[in-house]
Chains A and B, each alone.
Chain A
Amino acid sequence: MTATVSSTPSKPSKQAVATLRHISPGWIGRIIAALATAAVLAYPLVSDDTYYQNMIIISLVFAVGASGLNIITGFTGYVSLGQSAFIGLGGYTIGVLATKFDTVSPWLWVPVAGLVAAGVAVGLGLVSLRSRGPAFVIITVAFLFLMQQVAVNWEDVTGGTAGLLLPLPTWGIDVINWPFYYALVAILAVQLLMTWWIRRSKFGMGLIAIREDETKAATIGINLPVHKVAAFVASSVFVGMAGAVYGYYLTFIDPLGMFAILISVQIILTLLVGGKATLWGPVLGAFLIEPLNETVNNSLGTLGGGNARLFLFGGLLMAVVVFLPNGILPSLAAFLFRRSREGKAGLVGARIETGGGLESLRKHVTVTEAPATDTTPLLAVTGLRKHFGGIKAVDGCSFTVPRGSITGLIGPNGSGKSTVFNLIDNTIAADAGTIVFDGEHIEKVPAWGRAHRGIGRTYQITRLFAEMTVLENVVAAQRSFSLTQLGRPAITGKEAAEASEFLAFVGMHSYRDQKARALSYGQQKMVELAQVLMLDPKLIMLDEPAGGINPVLIERMGQMIRELNSYGKTFLIVEHNMPFMLDLCDPIHVLARGATMASGTPDEIRTDPAVIDAYLGDDFTTTRQDVH
């Protein structure tokens, strides 16, 4: 399993390239990885050149660091400039413990260092629950410098700015580097194995959903705190261990060397250059950047005191962000993919199919024959309120959604309809009001909890996970949450079959392997509906299902809603297409200025003078007759 990519293998000859053309790029990659692994494993045995051994040891440390960072940055989308803090924590753990208990082998403290790093990472993970994007980057820098301050000021334990000297290795001078070398290779192997496993698991799929659209991920049932905290632990535990080996290898640790922002920069560069969200990218990056760093420092040392390193890292960071934002491996993969697809027509422009048999759905959704006696509403909101600064978007809105109904919510633009949706599924938190779903107060339930209880919703402006395929988008929805489920394969055969049925139902089956970003708006609407169905919700909330799609599709949308409704699914629909709504919905609630102004059957609403005045307009009745 162990492998690293180095420049050691010689370039294949022209003939070899010609024969290799018939082998898939994936296999070429595997062969290169295997050869490089063998080279790295064999190097200390065949050469005692300590200069290169040292270079590989440092590269291995960065490979572990960047591979760990990959889990929160590449998969989860949180950029951190504090990753070197975990190397520092590992170094200090072994430094402090090895000097205190000098009778036991320092190797004993390597796993402990992993635990310490993981413990601190839990804290950083909790921080990520409250802050995203650039604010999070700033926090990670502050976190790193705070760690440094602690190491400086907590002199009794850390030795302050003077640092700590570790006990010297006790083994023979001729194999002095071997234990460090192979320990790091082993740690990297475990790290890569874990990354590989995460990418294939439900856990990894959840992380990618969080990266693509965190708010949306929560509304399709992904438990954010558990995913994020686990990701931060996974990103740090082996890095802490590598840091401990690194500290022991250096035999000297101090605050400036261990909690260095430049090490963080090198880690992030390593990841960006190699390629985010890839298995081997961080390893490739490490074995490119560190040798480059060494070379530049040796040849440009005349600039004085580390200035060459600053130029190199600063300049590279700028260049990578501007010119190579995707990194080497993803760019290479994209290039090979384009070449393999040359001259083949894309599917994206094809028509949406008429859809598969609606009957097949009965197998996959819970069918409830609602007892006529149960008259408690499925959803009841009372006095819902949300103010944005001075804007009262929702201001005392109350209505109910009867079980088994198709309830409509209409009102002028800006009357608060979409905000009401956002409050019901907790895309945003309400200021006040009660929400009772299926007899249970859910005001304090987080978005994913509401999804698990049976609320599914689509967005007015579709929010699919752009970098996932259509099938992955649908399967990403999680009906319930359990820790064991995180370890299951990302897409099981059963789920794939189920998702395929839903995609067939909405007429999008032949798009299942396309990236969501390639789809048109109308197509995305259909996929989002399939995604919601995957939750098997009791209440399906649709935000403008007929907006921006063609009349045939609107017709089809109406049929689908009725079909699902006949299985006992309750609907709450926001839409401006009045013929569509008056035809489909009963009851209808009218929203104006953030509050419910009228409720009733379509006929009552159509003739209500207040509603005509506020929303429909005097000429509405004639318009409607024109339609039929």
Chain B
Amino acid sequence: MTQFAQNVVLGLLLGGVYALVASGLTLIFGVMKVINIAHGAFLVLASFIGYTLWSALGIDPLLGILVTSPIIFAAGWLTYKVAVEPIRTAPMTSTVLLTFGLALVLEGAMGAIWGNNSTSITPSYAEESFSVAGLFLPKVDVYGLLVAIVVLGALALILTKTWLGRAIRAAAVNSTGAELVGIKVSSVAALVFALGIGAAGAGGAIIGVLYPFVPGSHYLWIARLLAIVVLGGMGSLNGAVLGAVLFGLAETLTAAYISPSWATAVPYLVVFAVLLIRPQGLLGSHLRQDSVTA
């Protein structure tokens, strides 16, 4: 029983970090209807930057988020302006291919800079745990969860309490209408893209401490992230959090009770099952489709 509780707690902790990264992906989809396949690559890029900050400059990998996230945020903004904006009106599959191409370029760049060997970040507390009521809570997971809660909370506040948040939501629901009432949709979109990717950056810095990584890790991550947002309902922030927690649990429990090699197949199976059985996900809204204009 304790063992089971231990696994559940680990799954929940992991789910918090997943939620942080997935929220960025779902935010970008919700506002722009762009599925950013490069999301996983930006995540791994953040891990590599965190690694360099830690190994070369001795900056604590979790404090390093304060440096890593802005860098990734800027990269996201630039990506939007250079690559995504020119094809905003193209069919959604075009942006899927475009961001897929970007993911490959990033993978190649990371391989050229950091090499294709497995890299890990091991600060002094990497192996330490808090002990609460007989359960072990690894310090990295706990710190990661705290960072995730802070960033997610800030994101939620921005979306619900600020003018920018209203502009973002307006642009998400009806971009032409938002433009008509004075919202500069392309600026909002660039900002959202950068924010979403910045969230992936924050998550990537934490994940770099949790797992070893290689440039090619981004395939597994994008599969995981897509599984999470598809499960929660694409475009729904609450859905992404719920999906992430459920997914973290499912993965931890599969690895513990079935086999670790099957845990890697979980995301693909989830994607298949959800898209076929309930395409709108758990919390996705079921919009009317018949009034869509050409």
Contacts and interface: CB of A to CB of B under 8 A. Distances in A.
A463 interface: yes
B104 A137 contact: no
B112 A461 contact: no
Interface string A125-149: 0010011011101110111011001
A46 interface: no
A325 interface: yes
B180 interface: no
B89 to A, nearest CB: 11
B86 interface: yes
Given A131-B275, A307-B108, A322-B86, A461 B287 contact: no
A141 B35 CA distance: 14
A37 interface: no
Nearest to A131: B275
A310 B265 contact: no
Interface string A370-402: 000000000000000000110101000000000
Greatest chain B CB density within 10 A among A130, A141, A321 is at: A321
A311 B265 CA distance: 28
A585 interface: no
Interface stretch (A312-320, A329-337, A345-353): A312-320
Contacts of B103: 314
B45 to A, nearest CB: 14
A317 B290 contact: no
Interface string B161-189: 00000000000000000000000000000
B76 to A, nearest CB: 15
Interface string A461-496: 111000000000000000000000000000000000
A303 interface: yes
B31 interface: no
A418 B111 contact: no
B96 A131 contact: no
Interface in B57-73: none
Contacts of B264: 149
Interface in A198-215: none
A135 B108 CA distance: 26
A304 B117 CA distance: 12
A142 B276 contact: no
Interface stretch (B12-20, B236-244, B266-274): B266-274
Given A138-B275, A314-B108, A388 B288 contact: yes
B293 interface: yes
Contacts of B97: 79, 268, 272, 317, 321
Contact of B219 (A134, A145, A304, A422): A145
Contact of A321 (B94, B106, B109): B94
Contacts of B286: 388-389
B275 A318 contact: no
A623 B18 CA distance: 63
A308 B93 contact: no
Contact of B111 (A81, A142, A262, A310): A310
Nearest to A130: B276
B104 A135 contact: no
Interface in B233-279: 261, 264-265, 267-269, 271-272, 275-276, 279
A58 interface: no
A305 interface: yes
A321 B101 contact: yes
B294 to A, nearest CB: 6
A153 B265 CA distance: 11
B223 interface: yes
Given A310-B105, A389-B286, A304 B275 contact: no
A43 to B, nearest CB: 32
B96 to A, nearest CB: 5
B22 interface: no
Contacts of A139: 271-272, 275-276
A303 B110 CA distance: 11
B107 interface: yes
A598 interface: no
Contact of B108 (A131, A311, A321): A311
B226 interface: yes
B92 interface: yes
A427 interface: yes
A391 B288 contact: yes
A261 interface: yes
A422 B268 CA distance: 34
A252 to B, nearest CB: 21
B92 A307 contact: no
A35 interface: no
Contacts of A309: 108
Contacts of A262: 104
Nearest to B226: A138
Nearest to A517: B294
Contact of A303 (B87, B112, B290, B294): B112
Most B-side CB within 10 Å, residue of A138, A153, A388, A422: A138
B132 interface: no
Contact of B35 (A81, A134, A304, A316): A134
A445 to B, nearest CB: 19
Contacts of A149: 264-265, 268
A436 interface: no
Contacts of B105: 310-311, 314-315, 318
Choose among B86, B94, B230 the residue with the greatest number of A CB atoms under 10 Å from its CB.
Answer: B94
B22 to A, nearest CB: 14
A311 B215 CA distance: 13
B111 A307 contact: yes
5 contacts: A81-B100, A138-B230, A272-B97, A306-B111, A322-B86
Interface of B: 35, 83, 86-87, 90-98, 100-109, 111-112, 115-116, 219, 223, 226, 230, 261, 264-265, 267-269, 271-272, 275-276, 279, 285-291, 293-294
Cβ-closest 4 pairs across A and B: A314-B104, A310-B108, A317-B101, A314-B105
